[in-house]
C-alpha cells in the first residue's frame, strides 16, 4: 500500500522558521516533491529530492532520508504570503505521483 502522512495544520509567526514533516510508506520510490498551493489556486513546484540530504533554494530547504521514509520542508524568514497548503508527494515509479493530504500553514503577524 501507500501512505503519506503530514500534519494537518501548523501556525507560525512572521519572521520565524517552520519545519513541515512528511513520512511515507510506498511500494517504490523515485523521488519526493514539495508543492505549495494557495487557496483557490493550482499547486506550484517548490523542491525535489531523490538522494539523501538537504536541498536549499533561497528561503526554502527540503531534506530527505530514504532509509527512514522521511522528509521535511524548512521555511525560513516566514512571510505572510507563505500562508498556504504544502503538499508532499512521492514518485513511486514512472511519473506517477502520490500526494499526502497537505499541511495548511498559517503565518501570523
Partner 1 sequence: DAGITQSPRHKVTETGTPVTLRCHQTENHRYMYWYRQDPGHGLRLIHYSYGVKDTDKGEVSDGYSVSRSKTEDFLLTLESATSSQTSVYFCATSGYRLAGEVVTGDEQYFGPGTRLTVT
Summarize as ranges the residues that interact with partner 1 (CB under 8 A). Answer: 30-31, 33, 41-45, 48, 50-51, 87, 89, 91, 94-102
Nearer to partner 1 among residue 15 and residue 57 (C-beta): 57
CB of 97 to partner 1, least distance (A): 6
Cβ(8)–Cβ(86) below 8 Å: no
Minimal distance, residue 10 CB to partner 1, in Å: 16
Residue 58 beta carbon to partner 1: minimum distance, rounded to whole angstroms: 16
Q: Which is nearer to partner 1, 14 or 55 (CB)?
A: 55
Give the whole-angstrom CA distance, residue 42 versus residue 15: 25
How many degrees, rounded to 5, is the angle at CA 31 between CA 96 and CA 65? Answer: 140
Q: Measured from the CB of residue 13, what is the shortest distance to partner 1 in angstroms?
A: 26
Annotate 48-109 with DSSP letters as a single string.
EE-SSEEEEETTEEEEEETTTTEEEEEE-S--GGG-EEEEEEEE-STT-EEE---EEEEEE-
Judged by CB, which is closer to partner 1: 81, or 109? Answer: 81
Amino acid at each position: 500500500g501507500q501512505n503519506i502522512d503530514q500534519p494537518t495544520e501548523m501556525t507560525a509567526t512572521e519572521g520565524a522558521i517552520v519545519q513541515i514533516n512528511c513520512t511515507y510508506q510506498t511500494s517504490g520510490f523515485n523521488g519526493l516533491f514539495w508543492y505549495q498551493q494557495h487557496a483557490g489556486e493550482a499547486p506550484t513546484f517548490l523542491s525535489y529530492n531523490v538522494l539523501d540530504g538537504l536541498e536549499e533554494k533561497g528561503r526554502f530547504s527540503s531534506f530527505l532520508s530514504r532509509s527512514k521514509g522521511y522528509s521535511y520542508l524548512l521555511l525560513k524568514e516566514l512571510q505572510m504570503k507563505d500562508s498556504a497548503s504544502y503538499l508532499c508527494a512521492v514518485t513511486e515509479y514512472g511519473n506517477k505521483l502520490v500526494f499526502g493530504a497537505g499541511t495548511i500553514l498559517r503565518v501570523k503577524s
